[in-house]
Amino acid sequence: MDIKELVLKLHEINAVKLGQFKLKSGIMSPIYIDLRVTVSSPPLLAAIGDMMYRKVYADADVKASSDKPTIVCGVPYTALPIATGMSIAHNVPMVVRRKEAKAYGTKQLIEGHFKEGDNVLVVEDLVTSGASVLETVRDLKSVGLRTTDVVVLLDRQQGARQALAANGLRLHSIFTMEQLISTLVEAGKLDGETLKLVSAFLEANRSVQVPVAPKLVHKSFGERVTLATNPAAVKLFKLMESKKTNLAVAVDLVNKSEILALAEAIGSEICCLKTHVDIVQDFDQDFITQLQSIAAKHNFIIFEDRKFADIGNTVKYQYENGVYNISKWADAVTVHGVAGPAIIDGFRDGLKQKGAGLLILAQMSSKGSLCVGEYTNQMIEMGKQNADAVLGFICQEKLEAMGDNFVLMTPGIQFNSKGDNMGQQYNTPDYVIKEKGTDVIIVGRGIYQSNDPKSEAIKYRQQSWSAYESRL
């Protein structure tokens, strides 16, 4: 099928519409290409996918490259059938990008099998400004995938090619808007006043800027000291600003000697050490005394990830009494808000004595987590109503309602952003600090299972602090 035959077939199935249409870029257009209708014409859809595939892999630059795309991904939603047909016809693996992560199941934004560094061909039906393509490229990048090439059926010639090139992307198109119009004119499908209107529109809109979201203004940790009302939050903001680290390390080890040795080795690099004392097999008060000494020596806080979740009276005893006496040594503890705001009252006396703070679990990094949607919103509101007791939130992103007086900590961080076989999902330091706007990365196995934990801690500290500085 050649371009002329394709254009006339699209016109025949009413994929080419004339009138007044608002495009995603925000501009009004007298001509609209609706490729969604191609799903009702399987032979045409298959031909489109085949043409787009061959357009890319016949390109001289792609043929000469040793870094060809090995996976396809359709921009949701119109391009998904095209990418699927391309994948099946040419036996090319495919991944699916969701417009938003599910609040259930795997909760993944990118579905499919892939490995970090894979090159993904982004498939789109048409481009105007290139905004939709760049959104997809961003989300692919967030899970460690790369993109060098983009293929579309129609280039509307309104700035997308230049915008994509500025982001290091090659654009391949089957035909341009000029070719579409000339074909319709030659076939007598477009003439008179309508032709003048379309031609005038194209001439006046040769360059459509990619819509840019308002830039989020990030305050420095030093500036946020004056906003915090919880003593532990004030302490942590000051510590991070002076020590120049926003790295927390989760120490999920079961022997106190191993924990103490690791704390001594990495203490100079961290702002916070996250413990689980209930898994320490040889726990005693001497362990706490030594850990506090190391924390004072290296200037970091101790954060017990206890995840309290009972009624206020019960958590008061769990926090202030028992074998662990957590209130006597932990600068911060985690809390589930399932019991409602009254749970915070159970901590108030102990928090005041230590100058400690609560970290409310607003979101979690495990697959299938129920900490989503309205639950998350309620946790944020609970924190805002109890800002004197709440240090901050455990979360996957900064939400608009989260004020700058709170410290935002994100677990599930590794340089390798793939998950494990027990439901943990990982993000990279750059992604959560710069893209998602959180403050502190929590790294566990990526450091304590390393052959050289100190060196790994230095790498994570440098990357997370650099990401923080770059967003200011």
**CATH number of the domain where residue 66 is located:** 3.40.50.2020
Q: How far apart are CA 360 and CA 372, in angstroms?
A: 13
pLDDT of residue 104: 42
Lowest mean pLDDT among 63-77, 145-159, 280-294, 353-367: 353-367
Q: Kindly state the average pLDDT of the residues 175-187.
A: 92
- Extract the annotated binding site for substrate: 252, 274, 365, 424, 444-445
**Is residue 209 very low, low, confident or very high in pLDDT (cuts 50, 70, 90)?**
low
Same domain assignment for residues 315 and 407:
yes
- For residue 100, the enclosing domain spans 3-205
Whether 212 is covered by a domain: the verdict is: no
Q: What is the pLDDT of residues 261-275, one digit of tens each?
A: 999 999 999 999 999
Count of structural domains within the chain: 2
Q: How far apart are CA 289 and CA 345, in angstroms?
A: 28
Same domain assignment for residues 299 and 238:
yes
The answer to whether the pTM exceeds 0.85 is no
Whether 194 is covered by a domain: the verdict is: yes
- Identify whether 305 is a catalytic site residue: yes
Q: What is the pLDDT of residues 278-331, one digit of tens each?
A: 999 999 999 999 999 999 999 999 999 999 999 999 999 999 999 999 999 999
Same domain assignment for residues 22 and 120:
yes
Same domain assignment for residues 191 and 279:
no
pLDDT of residue 18: 84
**Is residue 103 very low, low, confident or very high in pLDDT (cuts 50, 70, 90)?**
very low
Residue of 291, 272, 259, 237 lying closest to 404 (CA atoms): 237
Whether 132 is covered by a domain: the verdict is: yes
Averaged pLDDT of the chain: 90
Percentage of residues in the chain having pLDDT higher than 90: 72
127: enclosing H helix or E strand: strand 120-127
Same domain assignment for residues 273 and 385:
yes
**Is residue 369 very low, low, confident or very high in pLDDT (cuts 50, 70, 90)?**
low
Q: What is the pLDDT of residues 215-226, one digit of tens each?
A: 567 899 999 999
pLDDT of residue 361: 94
Q: How far apart are CA 272 and CA 354, in angstroms?
A: 16
Whether 83 is covered by a domain: the verdict is: yes
Which residue among the candidates 17, 141, 189, 307 is catalytic per the annotation?
A: 307
- Extract the annotated binding site: 252, 274, 365, 424, 444-445
Which residue among the candidates 305, 331, 430, 439 is catalytic per the annotation?
A: 305
Residue of 465, 400, 373 lying closest to 216 (CA atoms): 400
- Identify whether 310 is a catalytic site residue: yes
Same domain assignment for residues 110 and 41:
yes
pLDDT of residue 234: 98
- Which one-letter amino acid corresponds to residue 220? S
Which residue among the candidates 34, 59, 310, 388 is catalytic per the annotation?
A: 310
Same domain assignment for residues 12 and 136:
yes
Q: Kindly state the average pLDDT of the residues 60-67.
A: 90
Give the domain CATH number at 424.
3.20.20.70
Using the 3D structure, point to which of 205, 238, 258 is the last residue of a domain. 205
